[in-house]
């Protein structure tokens, strides 16, 4: 397991609690959003005609 500075660990724990996700899920989400934000990954946008019915 990768460990971070105490303030980052506290923020991760808070995010896990508020978003009801595991630590690994939160870290994956943060990494994906960061990589997309900086152009290292293609941003996946929902198609207006998709079957999600407006929910992601």
Res 56 pLDDT > 60: no
pLDDT for residue 16? 97
pLDDT for residue 50? 54
pLDDT for residue 1? 87
Rounded CA separation 26/13 (Å): 9
Q: Specify if 50 maps to a domain.
A: no
Q: Specify if 27 maps to a domain.
A: yes
- For the chain, how many structural domains are there in total? 1
Q: Specify if 22 maps to a domain.
A: yes
pTM recorded for the entire structure? 0.72
Q: Specify if 48 maps to a domain.
A: no
3-state SS, residue 40: coil
Report pLDDT digits (tens) over 3-52: 999 999 999 999 999 999 999 999 999 999 999 999 999 987 666 665 65
What token pair was written down for 52?
A: 């999600």
């Amino acid at each position: 397991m990768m460990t971070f500075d105490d303030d980052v660990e506290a923020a991760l724990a808070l995010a896990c609690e508020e978003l009801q996700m595991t630590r690994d899920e939160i870290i994956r989400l943060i990494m994906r959003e960061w990589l997309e934000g900086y152009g290292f990954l293609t941003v996946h946008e929902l198609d207006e005609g998709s079957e999600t019915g407006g929910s992601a």
